[in-house]
């Protein structure tokens, strides 16, 4: 196995994008943080234009770019937007009665969705490293990740609410009430899951007589930082969606390259990779702007504050994304799983393919 075969790009890029950058940011904010979160908020907003918004657009683009996808997933492609359109209509109609629950649903679903991505990334890197994830490891990993999510929900509410309400796009969303013992219970499950998973990893290391590549554990460690210690730092959780989106875009780019370049007769070169990445990137930036700025602007005639309209539409776009993501990224799907085992250099040419092809060991 070559050293590149573990990574989508290389050690540095994968490590930084999958979690290194967010952990460095957390440490930096912990060291230099002060109470004024406004500069970070504006910085995150600018980053949203080039990372967060395109990450939603990338999902929409992936689903709707091919008529085959639409035919294959008709309920996701057509039925779901209709239902969400109804929920958005109800929220516009009753911004004080229905909208707060719609937004609460989104605010709870969002960290759950991040948890799903963490498990997916761990599975991908484990498969690349040849670490088999069986039923026990999967359960331990899920226990760790989803309990961290529950801890995060509790801590976000403790630190992000004022008078029992969370501010979202200028709207007051009721905090989700949970009993005091919930966090202790979630932590107990989380550490049990961590111990069992670490035990399996340790046994594997002994059997293989080699260390487990850190990238396999990095998604879970990053998730822990986001939702347990990081959730107490308001300036940090403003930027968590950016890091989640960054992880997503790396994988989505490789998938896009696989679809566009790794086809019969496709030109394999770095020039082509660059051109395709730029084309895909620009389309998604434009798509993101349309989804998060254009769509609220189109509904600005409503007798509601523009921020309320934007918040409700953002929640709908997010929920649509959670569904579509679940549909298009199933590892059981052969096309998806083969793309998720590739290194970007494989698209550059046959020579590069030989150098960087992952030594795949089926989990």
Partner 1 sequence: MREAATAAVLAVLAGPARAAEVSPCILDPAALTPREMFLAAAIGAMIACGVTSFLLAERVTERTHAALAALVVLIGGFCLFTLFGLAGREIPVAGSLVLLGLIGLFKLMNLFEIRRKRSLSDK
Contact footprint for partner 1 (CB under 8 A): 73-76, 79-80, 83, 86-87, 90, 93-94, 97-98, 101-102, 104-105, 108-109, 112-113, 116, 146, 150, 153, 164, 174, 176-180, 182, 322-323, 326-327, 330, 332-333
Closest to partner 1 by CB, 102 vs 197, is: 102
Distance CA 143, CA 126 (A): 17
Closest to partner 1 by CB, 74 vs 351, is: 74
Distance CA 157, CA 231 (A): 9
Question: Residue 269: how many CB atoms within 10 A of its CB?
Answer: 14
Distance CA 85, CA 103 (A): 14
Burial of residue 163 (number of CB atoms within 10 Å: 0-12, 13-18, 19+): exposed
Tokens of 319: 């929920």
- The strand pair at 171-174 and 165-168 is best described as antiparallel
> What's the closest the beta carbon of residue 308 comes to partner 1, in angstroms?
16
Closest to partner 1 by CB, 20 vs 120, is: 120
Closest to partner 1 by CB, 134 vs 350, is: 134
> What's the closest the beta carbon of residue 358 comes to partner 1, in angstroms?
25
Distance CA 292, CA 296 (A): 7
Closest to partner 1 by CB, 79 vs 274, is: 79
Distance CA 87, CA 281 (A): 30
> What's the closest the beta carbon of residue 254 comes to partner 1, in angstroms?
21
> What's the closest the beta carbon of residue 45 comes to partner 1, in angstroms?
27
Residue 284, helix vs strand vs coil: helix
> What's the closest the beta carbon of residue 275 comes to partner 1, in angstroms?
33
Distance CA 359, CA 336 (A): 17
Tokens of 39: 């500069």
Angle at 293 between CA 255 and CA 161, to 5 degrees: 95
> What's the closest the beta carbon of residue 71 comes to partner 1, in angstroms?
11
Closest to partner 1 by CB, 76 vs 256, is: 76
Which candidate, 77, 84, 81, places its Cα nearest to that of 105?
A: 84
> What's the closest the beta carbon of residue 331 comes to partner 1, in angstroms?
11
Which candidate, 125, 118, 123, places its Cα nearest to that of 134?
A: 123
> What's the closest the beta carbon of residue 338 comes to partner 1, in angstroms?
16
Closest to partner 1 by CB, 40 vs 80, is: 80
Closest to partner 1 by CB, 254 vs 319, is: 319
């Amino acid at each position: 196995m070559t050293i590149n075969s573990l990574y989508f790009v290389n050690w540095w890029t994968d490590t930084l994008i999958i979690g290194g950058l967010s952990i460095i940011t957390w440490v930096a904010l912990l060291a230099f943080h002060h109470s004024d979160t406004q500069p970070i908020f504006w910085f995150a907003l600018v980053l949203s234009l080039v990372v967060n918004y395109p990450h939603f657009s990338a999902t929409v683009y992936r689903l709707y770019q091919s008529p085959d996808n639409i035919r294959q997933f008709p309920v996701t492609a057509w039925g779901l937007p209709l239902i969400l359109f109804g929920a958005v209509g109800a929220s516009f109609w009753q911004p004080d009665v229905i909208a707060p629950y719609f937004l609460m649903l989104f605010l709870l679903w969002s960290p759950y969705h991040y948890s799903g991505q963490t498990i997916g990334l761990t599975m991908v890197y484990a498969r690349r490293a040849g670490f088999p994830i069986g039923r026990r490891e999967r359960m331990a990993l899920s226990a760790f990740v989803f309990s961290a999510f529950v801890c995060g929900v509790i801590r976000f509410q403790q630190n992000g609410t004022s008078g029992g309400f969370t501010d979202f796009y200028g709207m007051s969303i009721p905090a989700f009430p949970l009993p005091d013992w919930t966090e202790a219970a979630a932590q107990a499950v989380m550490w049990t899951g961590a111990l069992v998973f670490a035990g399996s990893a340790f046994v594997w290391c002994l059997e293989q007589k080699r260390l487990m590549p850190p990238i396999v554990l990095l998604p879970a460690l990053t998730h822990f930082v986001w939702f347990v210690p990081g959730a107490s730092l308001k300036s940090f959780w403003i930027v968590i969606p950016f890091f989640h989106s960054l992880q997503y875009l790396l994988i989505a780019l490789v998938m896009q390259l696989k679809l566009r370049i790794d086809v019969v007769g496709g030109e394999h070169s770095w020039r082509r990779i660059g051109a395709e990445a730029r084309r895909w990137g620009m389309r998604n930036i434009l798509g993101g702007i349309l989804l998060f700025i254009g769509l609220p602007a189109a509904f600005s005639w409503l007798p509601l504050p523009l921020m309320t309209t934007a918040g409700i539409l953002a929640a709908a776009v997010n929920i649509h994304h959670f569904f579509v993501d679940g549909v298009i990224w199933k590892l059981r799907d052969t096309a998806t799983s083969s793309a998720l085992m590739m290194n970007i250099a494989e698209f550059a040419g046959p020579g590069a393919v030989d150098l960087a092809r992952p030594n795949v060991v089926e989990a």
